[in-house]
Amino acid sequence: MTGQKTIIWDFDGTLVQFTSWRYALIDVLNEFEPGHDIDHEQLRPFLRSGFPWHKPEEPHFHLSTPEAWWDSLEPFFTRVYQSVGFNMERAALLARQVRKQMTNPKRFILFEDTIPVLTELKKNGWRNVILSNHMPELPDIVRSLELTPLIEFCLTSGVTGYEKPNPQAFHMALSLAGDPKNVWMAGDNPISDVKGAEIQGIPAILVRGQKNEEAKYKAKDLWEVIKIIEEQ
Ligand SMILES: [Mg+2]
Q: What is the domain extent for residue 79?
A: 21-106
Question: What pTM does this model have?
Answer: 0.95
Same domain, 123 and 227: yes
Q: Tell which of 61, 77, 106 closes a domain.
A: 106
Find out whether 8 and 184 touch, Cβ atoms under 8 Å. yes
Q: Do 65 and 154 lie in a common domain?
A: no
On whether both 25 and 10 belong to a single domain, the answer is: no
Q: Mark which of 44, 74, 106 sits at the end of a domain.
A: 106
Cα-to-centroid distance, 144 and ligand 1 (Å): 19
Split at pLDDT 50, 70, 90, the class of 122 is: very high
* Judgement on whether residues 144 and 60 belong to the same structural domain of the protein: no
What pLDDT, in 10s, does the model give residues 50-59? 999 999 999 9
Residue 1 inside a domain? The answer is: no
| Banded model confidence at residue 92, pLDDT cuts 50, 70, 90 | very high
pLDDT digits (tens, 9 = 90+) for 200-219: 999 999 999 878 788 999 99
**Has residue 82 been placed in a domain?**
yes
Distance 188 CA to ligand 1 centre (A): 5
Burial class, 52, CB count within 10 angstroms (exposed 0-12 / middle 13-18 / buried 19+)? buried
What is the whole-number distance in angstroms between the Cα of residue 36 and the centre of ligand 1?
Answer: 30
Residues 92 and 141 reside in one and the same domain: no
State the burial class of residue 94 (Cβ atoms within 10 Å of its Cβ: 0-12, 13-18, 19+).
Answer: buried
Ligand 1 mean position, distance from CA 202 (Å): 17
Instruction: Say how many Å lie between the CA of residue 29 and the centre of ligand 1.
Output: 26
